[in-house]
Every structure is written in structure tokens, then in C-alpha cells.
Structure 1
Amino acid sequence: MKYKEISAKQLLQIKTLGELKATGYQPRSIKQELRDNLIEKLKNKEEVFPGIWGYEETVIPDVERALLSMHHINLLGLRGQAKTRIARMMVNLLDEYIPVVKGSELNDDPLQPLSRYAVDLIDEHGDHTPISWMHRSDRYTEKLATPDVSVADLIGDADPIKAATLKLPYSDERVIHFGLIPRSHRGIFVINELPDLQARIQVSLFNILQEGDIQIRGFKIRLPLDIQFVFTANPEDYTNRGSIVTPLKDRIDSQIVTHYPKSIEIGKKITRQEAIVKDEQAKKIQINELISDLIEQIAIEARKSEYVDAKSGVSARLTISAYENLMSSAERRTLINGENTTYIRVGDLWGVIPAITGKVELVYEGEQEGPVIVAQNLLGKAIRTQFLQYFPDPEKLKKQQKTKGENPYRKITDWFGEGHTIDLLNDLSNKDYKAALNGVKGLRELIDQYHSKQDEATKFFMMEFALHGLAEYSMLSKNQLTAGLQFKDLLSSMFSGPGSFGDDDDEDSGDSKNNRYRR
């Protein structure tokens, strides 16, 4: 039976070099292996990188072209753009098992031995040389570039302990302790954040990339290593911490630029795929598309915010963590109130602030305002942007000077203008939450006018969303309370804020900041 026709189970039963030769096995470089298997997948219309969304017409075709060209690859992009995930998924393009000389630390091919150990073993045992089988999952090595990485870590060095144990002189190559790269022979080797690697260490990669060999101290040793290199780099690193030295950059055949999701729909696919939501959470909590859109909109607003460092980027991990926090906010409320189910609320977005503050790099102006205030600003802008997808533009209504009967928000603003307020606390029970929203005159009519076909749970969500939207367009005042939010008339809040002659309720202290950011 020919080698290519043998099943994985039958391969594992082959134990000697002679048995391997009888199958007609022929060595194949890892780049040729990746190319052949990619060709097979493309011909069979198989998905090469499943679960990678938004790159179908950009990054993935570039990666496939690079692999077909048998290139070393550098994935260049901001954080959270699935660079490492793409590299890890290349393992699926490798053969399931490959033969290696048993006991070899360099994964020697039995028909093309590389190390002194493998050569000596084959010379001694011939066709009886024992072989083992290496699974593709073991052919992937990943190293994060840090300033303390040394040439010895990556390439290798003379090991005095090995020399003493084996009673060998330093001139004998058997005293060499090989580093990560030689041990990745016949595999994929990934260096993450390449610019962080010191320039003198990057230089040590020149020969490996171009000539396929290594140099260790004074040893005259040539090891034609067979490795598929994949590098990842962040453009920010080029100026902040280091750069890829020009000769090394020249030896990396293909540089592929990654990007963030180009639409909210793609962002939602990524978030839902990656977010960890427990079964008990999914059963208890009803979620709608609008809240998912708002989560993605936060990241979009952050990427264009004047307070966030655009060069650093805003990772997709922000929306993933935010989604998880959102579900946990609702779950916590059900536990506190002893309820079996609940539906997500707009106010739950304030529970995602911890997921935002640690994932955005602020510029000087942002640092001056503080991460929490910037996060609140991003939430407000996300609501403001999405509001126009569901309700008429309040600013256009103002400009058109609509009459009382034609302004859909008039009853709501007039009700608040009469001195009414509404407190939407984080832990309100479902019953109290509904009662509070139903108490706002004109609010239910607004939802019935524009979203009459929605189910009851979504209608209450839209009622709350309308209040938030009107606050963002300065038609109402939204104040941060210790345990939630308060909505009231905008004009009255100006006279009841800190330092005014109105009431001295410290719960209004956040209003001046909220209004300032909305403008």
C-alpha cells in the first residue's frame, strides 16, 4: 500500500525505518506540505480558517497566497485582530502525522536525518532504526518576543553540564543544547510582537530565514532547518518599543496587514463566538439585537474617540469582555431579586465600564478626564449613534420647529418639565422597573408608534432606550446615582446641580460632566 493511502491508524503501527521505506514514503518540506494541503482544501471548497470573521475578502486570501508561494509571513496589525489565531490555525494544514527518528530532539526525518544523534543511530541500526510518529499539534511552537530573550533561547548554546556528563570536549557538537528554533524543525514557529525582540537577537535570524542554517558560537555546524516562520507585529511597536531591523524585514517574504471588523454584524459574530456565556445565564436572560449593536458601537466609538490613542487600537477583546459583563449584570439582578428570568436593560451597559477602562489606551486629554469618565462618554456616544436607527432625529425636529402635536417627544419632555423624575436603579426588580417606565407620560405611546410589532420585553427595553437617547440629545437630564441613573428635566437640573440655589442632592453631581461630554 502506498504511503498516501495509509490511514492514520495504520501509520502508527509502522515502527522501523525499513517498514517506512516499504510504503514509498518520500520526505517533503513543511512549506510544500502546507501548500499541497491548502490546494486540496481549496479544491474541495473547504473552509481553511473557520471562525475568522471579516477577513474573507482581505486577510485570508492574502494568507492563502503567501502559503501557496511558500513564504515566511509577517502579520501586521493592531491588538485584538486575530493575528495569533490565524497562525495557530495553520496547524490544520499540516499532515496529521509525520515520521521522526525515535528519541531525536530535532524531529529528524528518517530519510533526511539532521542531528548527529539521528545520523549515528541510522548508521548503527539501518532499516531497524526505530521511528515514532509526531502529531501535527506538536509541530507548532510559539514564542512571545520580550527584551530578555537571548540567542541561546532561540538558537542554542554550548551546555557545560552536558559536556561534563558525557565527558566530551567543547569542540564536539554533541555538547550543544539546541534552542527553540532548531527544536521546531519540520514545524511552524511563531514569534509574537517581533519588534519587541532586540535588534541583536533579530540579526541571529538572518541565516535561518535566508540560508536555512544556524550558527552557534565557534562550531562549524550546518543545520538546514525546515521551518515555516510566522511573525506578528503591532504598528505601534515600531515607534514605542522597537522596530524590525531592515535586513530581517527584507527576508520575510509576505507582510499581511490585518484590520478590525468593518461592520457591526461582523463584530457581533466575533463577540458571540468568543464570549463565554454559561448555560444558566442564557436560560435566565433575554437579550435583543439592539443591545448587541450597542456593545459593538462602543468599540467603534472608542476607535475614533479623541480621548483614545488610535495608534494603540481597541481590541476585539473589549466587546467580548463587555458582552460577558453585560450578561453578568443581568444575572446578578435576578439573583438579588429572586427572579427566574429577566431581560437585558440599557442600564446594564454601565456594568460594562470595567471591561472598557482596562482595554483602551488614553491620550493625555483622556488621562486628564479619567478612564471612567471616558468610558461613560463612549457609552453615551454609542447610544446617541444607535438612537437614530430607531427614532426620529431630535436635532432635526428642533431645526424644523415642529408644532406640539407633531413632535413625538413632546409629551415625554413636558412630563419631566412638570417636575417629575424617574430613578432607574441597577437592581430594580422586573415589576418595579416596568412600573417606573410606565409612569412616564407619553413614553409608551412613543414605542407603540414606532415599534408596535415588538414583543413586550423589547418594548420596555426600547422605552428605557428612548430616555437614554433623549438625554444624549440634551432633551432630558441623565444623572449618575450611586446605584443607578436618574432622569429629570434638563432645565431644572441646571438649577439643582452643585453650587446652585436649588436642592443640594449630591446624586446630581454627575450631570454637569454628562452634559459636557454630550456636547
Structure 2
Amino acid sequence: IHYGMIPRTNRGIFCINELPDLAERIQVGLLNIMEERDVQIRGYKIRLPLDVYVVASANPEDYTNRGRIITPLKDRVGSEIRTHYPRTVEHEIQIMESESNHFITEGLEIIFPQFMKEIIAEITQLARRSNDISQRSGVSVRVSISNFENVLSSASRRALRLKERNVAPRISDLSAIFASTSGKIELDTVGDIKEERVVQKLINAAVLSVFGDYFENREFEQLVAGFERGLSVHVGDDMPSMEYVNQLSKVGGLSKAIDKLNGRGSPASIASSIEFILEGLHLNRRLNKDEVRGKIRYRR
């Protein structure tokens, strides 16, 4: 006699994923098991005692329309544990680092700046508070994980194309998250606002927030003064790292800021730090930015 999957787990733990997906008639079959803690074999006048611990997972009822947990079954649940999204950037970073896929990068040394991790995590944190995004649908940590992977993939592709040994994601690599974020968020706005515009708004806000955690605007008076004298700096996602290093000697006031970001390790990390600083100053309205054919120029 086959007693069924749950009775065969006697003296064990039986886990059910996505409980609402079970048809209601099947959920009814759990009532006796969870209340009387025994099972009756159809066609036989015998009841077998069960010692089984049932654990089930489910999304909130308003999250999907795929099903529901019947009320009598809810009444038999001993305890309900509600989980939540990571509440801090630090926890978000820990999860995306541990759950992301690690690429096979033979011959490449990956340097993922801490400020870039914080920006990616902050994008998701801001999305969970955004009025443009439906909070009923939620913004899962999968957004952070996918964005982390896409940004690293973009940086790795550049290093392979330019034959560079070091890989360090830059601000210009954040364009890769449009593909990984779209489809994972549901807009909650009236009008013709597009996902790309919402994602760009989140990117700008995240960069501005993280920049404010590291610097104050008054630290860059010397740098801004150089731009007021006609200095301009070009950046781009396909620009070799050494070109950033060469520009560094021409731009006064950058060295201390790069040291503050621990960006002296390699040309790739210097390039990443420079882009972060310039974009932060632009978002603080200290510099102007022109974008033509994929190239970006910062000026006053």
C-alpha cells in the first residue's frame, strides 16, 4: 500500500513550496493530517498515527493571483513567520554577493569597488520606496543579484575586448542594469512613463546617495576650479583604463578623493573611481555632462 508522500515522511519534516498553488481539494486532504495528526487509508477502516512536521511557504495573497490557502487550513497552522526584504544596504550586498553566479574569468582579476556594490544595492532599496513602482508586487532581492551580475559582465566584456587584466565595474557599466531590472518591477504610475526613465531615476538617486556618504562638495573646490578654467574630461564604457590614469595627472584635486575610495590598486580601479567622482559632482550640479555617440564629457 502506498500511503502517500506525507505519511511516508512519518517522523520527519515535510516541506511544501508555494502552498497556494495546490488545488483546494488537495489542501483539504491536509486538514486531518495537521489537526488529528493521523491518516486514514481510503477503503480501509484503519487510522495510522503520524508524527510529521509540515512546513509550507507562500507569497502574500495579494502578490499573485495563482491561488489561495483555504481558511480551515490557515486555522491549523501553528505559527506564521513573515519574512521581509533586506532592510539595509549591507544585508543587500551580503545576499547579492553570496547568491550571484561567479563567472569563469581565466586570466582576469576582478576588483569590485565597494561603492559600486553600494550603488547597486541602493538602487533596489530605493525601488522599494519609489512611488513609481507598485509596492504590492514588491521588488525582490533578485533585482540586486541580476544587476550585480550584469554590471560585472559588462566590465568583464570591456576588459576582454581591450585586453586588460583587471576588471573593475564603472558608473558607465550601470547601463547594463536596464535589461536586468526591466520586467522585475511593475510600474504604478498614471501616464506614459517608461521603465527606462524610472530605472535611470533610481540610478541617479543611488549614485547621489552613495556619493554623499563618501564626500562633501567642499572637498572638490580645487577640482571644480580646474573645470571653470576650461578643463574637460572624457569617459566611456569602452575607454581603456590607462587613459583615465593619463587624465589623472591633468586633473588637480582627484588624487585625495581616489585614495578615500581605496582606488589606487590598479588602472581599472582608478578609472572606476574617477567616473564615480565625476558623476557625483554632476548630480550635485557642480559639473555639466554631455553625451554624444556613447562618449561622455564632463565640463563646467
Q: Structures share a fold, TM > 0.5? A: yes
Residues 6-60 of structure 1: CA deviation (Å, up to 9, x unaligned) = xxxxxxxxxxxxxxxxxxxxxxxxxxxxxxxxxxxxxxxxxxxxxxxxxxxxxxx
Residues 267-306 of structure 1: CA deviation (Å, up to 9, x unaligned) = 2222222222235369422222222222211221111111
**2:236 counterpart residue number:** 425
Number of residue-to-residue matches in the alignment: 298
1:229 is displaced (CA, Å) by: 0.8
**2:169 counterpart residue number:** 344
1:387 is displaced (CA, Å) by: 0.8
Which of 76, 95, 103 lines up with 1:270 in the alignment?
A: 95
Does 479-488 or 288-297 show the bigger shift? 479-488
Which of 290, 295, 298 lines up with 2:120 in the alignment?
A: 295
- For 2:155, what is the secondary structure of its paired residue? helix
**1:256 correspondence with 2:81:** yes
Q: 1:181 to 1:485 in 2, by over 3 A?
A: farther
Q: Which amino acid aligns with 2:128?
A: R
Aligned mates of 2:187, 2:155 — CA distance in 1: 29
- Among all aligned residue pairs of Structure 1 and Structure 2, give the percentage whose two residues are the same amino acid: 38
Unaligned runs of 5+ in 2: none
Query: Is 2:41–2:47's contact at 8 Å kept on the other side of the alignment?
Result: no
1:370 is displaced (CA, Å) by: 2.1
**1:465 counterpart residue number:** 276
1:210 is displaced (CA, Å) by: 0.7
Aligned mates of 1:361, 1:191 — CA distance in 2: 28
Q: 1:224 to 1:481 in 2, by over 3 A?
A: farther
Aligned mates of 1:238, 1:451 — CA distance in 2: 43
Q: 1:278 to 1:238 in 2, by over 3 A?
A: closer
- For 2:165, what is the secondary structure of its paired residue? coil
- For 1:205, what is the secondary structure of its paired residue? helix
Aligned mates of 2:119, 2:261 — CA distance in 1: 21
**1:387 correspondence with 2:202:** no
Query: Is 1:437–1:443's contact at 8 Å kept on the other side of the alignment?
Result: no
Query: Is 1:281–1:331's contact at 8 Å kept on the other side of the alignment?
Result: no
1:259 is displaced (CA, Å) by: 1.8
Query: Is 1:188–1:229's contact at 8 Å kept on the other side of the alignment?
Result: yes
Query: Is 1:237–1:243's contact at 8 Å kept on the other side of the alignment?
Result: no
Q: 1:456 to 1:213 in 2, by over 3 A?
A: closer
Residues 334-367 of structure 1: CA deviation (Å, up to 9, x unaligned) = 11112222433222222233222232232234x8
Which of 452, 455, 459 lines up with 2:264 in the alignment?
A: 455
Residues 89-131 of structure 1: CA deviation (Å, up to 9, x unaligned) = xxxxxxxxxxxxxxxxxxxxxxxxxxx5xxxxxxxxxxxxxxx
Q: Which amino acid aligns with 2:254?
A: R
- For 1:389, what is the secondary structure of its paired residue? helix
**1:49 counterpart residue number:** none
How does the TM-score come out when normalised to structure 1? 0.51
Query: Is 2:111–2:168's contact at 8 Å kept on the other side of the alignment?
Result: yes
- For 1:256, what is the secondary structure of its paired residue? coil
**1:315 correspondence with 2:127:** no
How does the TM-score come out when normalised to structure 2? 0.82
**1:496 counterpart residue number:** none
1:421 is displaced (CA, Å) by: 4.8
**1:304 counterpart residue number:** 129
Aligned mates of 1:359, 1:281 — CA distance in 2: 31
> Greater CA radius of gyration, 1 or 2?
1
Query: Is 1:443–1:463's contact at 8 Å kept on the other side of the alignment?
Result: no
Higher relative contact order structure (alpha carbons within 8 Å, sequence separation ≥ 6): 2
**1:6 counterpart residue number:** none
**2:245 counterpart residue number:** 434
Aligned mates of 1:436, 1:244 — CA distance in 2: 62
**2:71 counterpart residue number:** 246
**How does 1:41-60 map onto structure 2 within 5 Å?**
none
Which of 158, 182, 186 lines up with 1:361 in the alignment?
A: 186
**1:487 counterpart residue number:** 298
Query: Is 1:187–1:228's contact at 8 Å kept on the other side of the alignment?
Result: yes
Aligned mates of 1:258, 1:283 — CA distance in 2: 38
Which of 16, 19, 30 lines up with 1:191 in the alignment?
A: 16
Query: Is 1:206–1:251's contact at 8 Å kept on the other side of the alignment?
Result: yes
**1:208 correspondence with 2:33:** yes
- For 1:230, what is the secondary structure of its paired residue? strand
